[in-house]
Each structure stands twice: as C-alpha cells, then as structure tokens.
Structure 1
Amino acid sequence: MSLRADAATVRQGGTFLVVGLAATAVHAAASLAARELGHLAPTAATTVGYLCSVGISYLGNARFTFGRPALDGAQFVRFLVVSLIGFAANLGVTHLFAEVLKWPFVAALGVVVVVIPALSFTASKLWAFAERRA
C-alpha cells in the first residue's frame, strides 16, 4: 500500500469517526430516551436508536467520508447490507449484555458504540462505498 493510499485511509477513518460520532450520539440519545421515557425493552430501545441514526450515517459517509454520490442505488443497497449486519450485531450485543448478563443498559450500549463502528468502517471502505469500475 502506498503512502498516498495510507493517508487517504487515515483521512477516511477520521471523517468516518466524526460522522459516526454524530450518528452514534443520535443513536444513543434516541435509545436512552426510548428506554427511559418510553419504557421500551433494551432491544426495542436500541432499534429506535438505529432507525433514528441510519440516515445520518449513510449521507455523511457517502458524501464526506468516501466522497461518493449519495444517490446511487446499488451503493445504498450495499450500505444497507452492511448497516443491517451491524444492526443485527448491535441487537445481539445489547441482548447478550443487557438482558442475558444483566449489565446496565448504558454499559451494554458502551460495548455497542465501540465494536460496531470498527467493523462497519472496514466493510464500508472495502465494499459498500468502494469505487466500482465500469
């Protein structure tokens, strides 16, 4: 890998982090509100958080992280696959830690916001937003 490619990955990683922080903040706030105010179960609460944050993640990463057009149907489908796999992992982690192991919901959410973004960046860079050759 060349230094130029490494610099691009570092820039993308930084931008992904900023977009991810914005999406994660929305996810966490909506999840906590759904849990505390709506009295939803942890898994249902994190579903609300996911639905509130997915648009921010797609638009921010398409335009700012990877410099790709936002209106690309095939790219959006790839993003949805990555996102839904991440969401399934999110639900699994939340269920395991909050419901099975009886950790506090905030602690389970903490695991989610560290592990899932790292996996999502890799899949997004290598597949969902990868430049396609005609």
Structure 2
Amino acid sequence: MKREITSFRLISRFALVGLTATLLYAVLAMALEALFHATAGQATLSIAAYSIAAIFSYVAHRIFTFASNGAYHFEIPRFVLLTAVGFAISYVLPVIVGSVLGLPMFVSVAGVCIVIPLINFFALDRWVFSGRQVS
C-alpha cells in the first residue's frame, strides 16, 4: 500500500510540474508567435519557449517531484541531454507541421505538449534522477 501511495504521489507531482511547464511552453510559444510572427518561424519560437520552460522544469522536478539529493554533476548533464532531445522534437515537429504540412501553430504546440511529457516521465524517473534516495 505504501508503494502505491508513493507512486501516486510521484505521478501526481510529475503531472503538476509537467502540466505547469507544458502550459508555460504553450503560452510562451503562442505569445512569441503573436509578437514575432513576421520575423521568426514557428520552430525558432518553439525553441525559445521550450528553453524557458526547461529551466523551470529542472528546478521544479529536482525539488518538488523527485526531491532529489543526487549530485548535480550527475543529474544536470543527463537533464541537458534529455532537454536536447526535447529541443530536437520541439524543433522538428513544428518544421513538419508548419512548413511541410502548412498547419497552424496550435497543432505544433499540441504535438509537443503530448510527446515530450511521455518521454520525460520515464527518463527523469529512471535516468536523470535515478541517483536519488527513494524513501
């Protein structure tokens, strides 16, 4: 029973931080598109929004979700690599959706908002913050 409560708590915290980071990304991407539409493409705007959301995500997941006490020199490079994968997805998906398919920005944002959290949960739990002491 304790393991189920701990798992539920972990997933709930991940969801809260993840939803907040995802919402932050989406709002920033759409706001940047409204501000710079004439001078920047969807992919560039998506990367800018993703960068800001990634910083929030690391801090919130380390402190709140995983309560990690692992070594920064171990976790940060892994988080950066995971974020690079997210960057790649948040760049390639809007290129395909916007430039190739000609679909609007909200389709790109929705795709990024679905794919990235799925990858992140497993990678953060089992790889990035794997050195934490789980109670």
Give the count of matched residue pairs. Answer: 131
- Residue 26 of structure 2 is aligned to residue 12 of structure 1: no
Alpha-carbon distance between aligned partners in 2 of 1:34 and 1:70, rounded to the nearest angstrom: 35
With over 3 angstroms needed to count, the CA separation of the structure-2 counterparts of 1:131 and 1:49, relative to structure 1, is same
1:85-128 CA-partner distances (Å, limit 9, x unpaired): 11211211121112211111101211110111111111111100
- Residue 16 of structure 2 is aligned to residue 23 of structure 1: no
User: Structure 1 length as normaliser, TM-score?
Assistant: 0.87
Name 1:107's counterpart in structure 2: 107
User: Structure 2 length as normaliser, TM-score?
Assistant: 0.86
SS at match of 1:10: helix
Alpha-carbon distance between aligned partners in 1 of 2:5 and 2:108, rounded to the nearest angstrom: 33
Name 1:76's counterpart in structure 2: 76
1:11-67 CA-partner distances (Å, limit 9, x unpaired): 222111111121112211211121111122100110110121111100110011111
Alpha-carbon distance between aligned partners in 2 of 1:92 and 1:7, rounded to the nearest angstrom: 38
Name 1:130's counterpart in structure 2: 130
Cα pair 1:50 1:87 within 8 Å, conserved: yes
- Residue 33 of structure 2 is aligned to residue 35 of structure 1: yes
Name 1:54's counterpart in structure 2: 54
Considering only aligned residues, what root-mean-square deviation do their CA atoms show, in Å?
Answer: 1.9
Structure 2, unmatched stretches of 5+, are none
Structure 1: 4+ residue segments shifted above 3 A: 3-7
Structure 1, unmatched stretches of 5+, are none
